């Protein structure tokens, strides 16, 4: 047993024993190239014994000097550089392999493949930079950020685009832009109103301070009062209640509007008052809309207090959360969560006219799986309130050139 050009044979009772011995002698970096089961001749057939012979070669090791063989530990100063060592060793092994493997063409083939792989590796540029991001994807990424889409939404959208978009399309910016709009549109859930309500229908508008709740109550009321003109089939007897006795001029603001369109409007001061007013109004009104006090989403105690009072509206009451489109996406997420105590059916987005972004609305609603029922985009009553549709939000995305025909075909709304 000796080593020649990095190749050696070793014998033992089993393969494990051979490997153990080989490692003791030459370290870990050995590769078995052949295993042979051998038999001794014995004496007239007696004392015949099986043993195993391994043919191995030494893989290059930067610290070969520690092993007790041949050339490498002669003079450490002359130790060849690691790369030369490897290449020299490889040549020798390949040469040797031709002798060893004369009987085993498989090993020659494997070694040739290893050589080929090594050559390919050598050809690859060292420290190759990461594959550059497609320029169009970068543009889209910047636009999504500019439109205040939540980071999680942006990542989801971009991963999907990169994964599912054919290479040609990735290079076609206009097409890519439409795909992004369509996919963003797919994330928008529209609230579908029930067709048959048991009257009186009670609608309660909740939301943070100053988002336009009272204005929205007025706009909604006008839609029902002039229902025939707004595609509701007919006009509805409508009445208003406000529970806002705190804000200066709150009741006057609503009362003035109610007088203009000649519908009743009452202030309810506590839960008993609210219950009684609803019962009274319900005798003639088909729709009762309740305006509430603006509450900070951070004020959990106030929200809980208002919830307790609003319970007087009964279990049939439908709640809508009014939220300004000018709210930052993370704040929208926390508002959507904090107002969940009202179990709101859907969301009304107000003041869309005040912003050229809609990524916050689309992504925050999508993140929490909430739908959108109405969009308000102006101070005028009742003109600036419309049933929500994805296109209204998509065309509000800054920097995107929406192909309206295509969006209308996809989302089926004019």
Ligand X SMILES: Nc1nc2c(ncn2[C@@H]2O[C@H](COP(=O)(O)OP(=O)(O)OP(=O)(O)O)[C@@H](O)[C@H]2O)c(=O)[nH]1
What residues contact residue 170 under an 8 Å CB cut-off, 6+ apart?
A: 134, 136, 137, 161, 162, 176
Scanning residues 300 to 319, which ones bind ligand X (CB under 6 A)?
Answer: none
User: Which of 209, 216, 218 is CA-nearest to residue 238?
Assistant: 218
Residue nearer to ligand X on the CB measure, 282 or 378? 378
Nearest CB to ligand X, comparing residues 72 and 342: 342
Strands 50-58 and 189-190: unpaired
CB of 372 to Mg ion, least distance (A): 21
Number of Cβ within a 10 Å radius of residue 238? 26
Calpha distance 252→377 (Å, rounded): 23
Q: Based on CB atoms, which residue is closest to ligand X, 52 or 372? A: 372
Contact between 24 and 110 (Cβ < 8 Å): no
Closer residue to ligand X, CB minimum distance, 73 or 245: 245
The DSSP code sequence of 8-44 is EEEEESSHHHHHHHHHHHH-S-EEEEEEEEEE--TBT
Residue 354 interacts, among Mg ion, ligand X, none and using kind-specific CB cut-offs from 5 to 8 Å, with ligand X
Distance CA 358, CA 43 (A): 94
Residue number closest to ligand X, CB atom: 294
Rounded to the nearest whole angstrom, what is the least distance from the CB of residue 321 to ligand X in the complex?
11
The site partner of 154 among ligand X, Mg ion, none (C-beta below 5 to 8 Å per kind) is none
By the rule CB under 6 A, 396 interacts with ligand X? no
195-198-200 Cα angle (round to 5): 115
Please, which of residues 134-173 interact with ligand X by CB under 6 A?
none
φ/ψ (deg, to 5) at 167: -55, -45
Binding to ligand X by residue 384, rule CB under 6 A? yes
Q: Interface residues for ligand X in 334-353 (CB under 6 A)?
A: 350-351, 353
Decide whether 57 or 257 has the Cβ nearer to ligand X: 257
Size of the site for ligand X (CB under 6 A): 19
Stretch near ligand X under the rule CB under 6 A, chosen from 159-167, 274-282, 374-382, 401-409: 374-382
- By CB under 6 A, residue 35 contacts ligand X: no
- Residues 6+ away with beta carbon under 8 Å from 164: none
CB of 281 to ligand X, least distance (A): 20
Q: Which does 351 bind (CB under 5 to 8 A by kind): ligand X, Mg ion, none?
A: ligand X
Contact call for residue 358 and ligand X (CB under 6 A)? no
354 binds ligand X (CB under 6 A): yes
Q: Which residues bind Mg ion (CB under 5 A)?
A: 213-214
CB nearer ligand X, residue 26 or residue 384: 384
Site for ligand X in 231-260 (CB under 6 A): 244, 247
Token pair listed for 300: 């959990």
* Min CB(334)–ligand X separation in Å: 17
In angstroms, the CA 29 to CA 72 distance is: 15
Residue list 199-228, contact with ligand X (CB under 6 A): 209-215
Choose between 218 and 333: whose C-beta lies nearer to ligand X. 218
Identify which of residues 211 and 388 has a Cβ nearer to ligand X in the complex. 211
376 binds, among ligand X, Mg ion, none (CB under 5 to 8 A by kind): ligand X
- The nearest distance, CB 258 to ligand X, in angstroms, is 14
The rounded distance, in Å, linking the Cα atoms of 268 and 255 is 13
Question: What is the C-alpha radius of gyration for the chain, rounded to an integer number of angstroms?
Answer: 39
Distance (Å, rounded) from C-alpha 167 to C-alpha 145?
A: 23
In DSSP notation, 105-167 reads HHHHHHHHHHHHHHHHHHHSPTTPPPPPPPHHHHHHHHHHHHTT--HHHHHHHHHHHHHHS-H
Nearest approach in angstroms of CB 295 to ligand X is: 8
Burial (CB < 10 A; 0-12, 13-18, 19+), residue 192, is exposed
70/249 with CB nearer Mg ion: 249
CB of residue 245 vs Mg ion: minimum separation in angstroms?
12
Cβ–Cβ < 8 Å for 29, 60: yes
Q: Give me the residues that bind ligand X (CB under 6 A), please.
A: 209-215, 244, 247, 294, 350-351, 353-354, 376-379, 384
């Amino acid at each position: 047993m000796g080593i020649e050009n990095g190749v050696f044979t070793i014998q033992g009772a089993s393969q494990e024993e051979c490997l153990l011995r080989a490692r003791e002698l030459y370290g870990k970096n050995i590769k078995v190239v052949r295993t042979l089961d051998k038999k001794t001749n014995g004496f007239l057939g007696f004392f015949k014994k099986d043993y195993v012979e391994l043919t191995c070669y030494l893989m290059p090791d930067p610290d070969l000097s520690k092993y007790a063989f041949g050339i490498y530990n002669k003079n450490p100063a002359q130790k060849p550089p690691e790369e030369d060592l490897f290449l020299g060793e490889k040549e020798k092994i390949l040469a040797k392999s031709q002798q060893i493997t004369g009987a085993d063409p498989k090993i020659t083939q494997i070694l040739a493949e290893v050589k080929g792989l090594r050559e390919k590796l050598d050809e690859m540029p060292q420290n190759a930079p990461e594959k550059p991001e497609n320029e169009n994807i970068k543009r889209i990424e910047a636009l999504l950020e500019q439109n205040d889409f939540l980071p999680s939404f942006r990542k989801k959208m971009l991963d999907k685009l990169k994964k599912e978009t054919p290479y040609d399309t990735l290079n076609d910016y206009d097409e890519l832009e439409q795909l992004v709009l369509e996919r963003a549109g797919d994330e928008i859930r529209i609230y579908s109103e029930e067709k048959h309500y048991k009257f009186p229908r009670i609608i309660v508008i909740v939301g943070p301070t100053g988002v336009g709740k009272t204005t929205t109550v007025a706009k909604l009321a006008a839609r029902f009062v002039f229902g025939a003109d707004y595609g509701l089939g007919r006009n509805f007897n409508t009445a208003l209640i406000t529970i806002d006795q705190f804000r200066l001029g709150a009741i006057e603001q609503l009362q003035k509007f109610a007088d203009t369109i000649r519908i009743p409007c009452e202030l309810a001061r506590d839960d008993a008052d609210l219950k009684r007013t609803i019962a009274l109004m319900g005798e003639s009104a088909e729709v009762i809309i309740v305006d509430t006090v603006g509450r900070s989403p951070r004020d959990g105690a106030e929200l809980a207090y208002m919830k307790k009072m609003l319970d007087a509206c009964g279990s049939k009451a439908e709640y809508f959360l009014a939220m300004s489109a000018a709210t930052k996406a993370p704040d929208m997420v926390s508002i959507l969560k904090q107002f969940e105590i009202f179990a709101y059916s859907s969301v009304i987005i107000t003041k869309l006219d005040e912003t050229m972004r809609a990524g916050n609305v689309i992504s925050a609603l999508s993140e929490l799986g909430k739908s959108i029922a109405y969009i308000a985009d102006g101070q005028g009553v009742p003109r600036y309130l419309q049933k929500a549709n994805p296109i209204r939000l998509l065309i509000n995305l800054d920097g995107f050139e929406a192909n309206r025909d295509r969006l209308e075909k996809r989302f089926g709304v004019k």
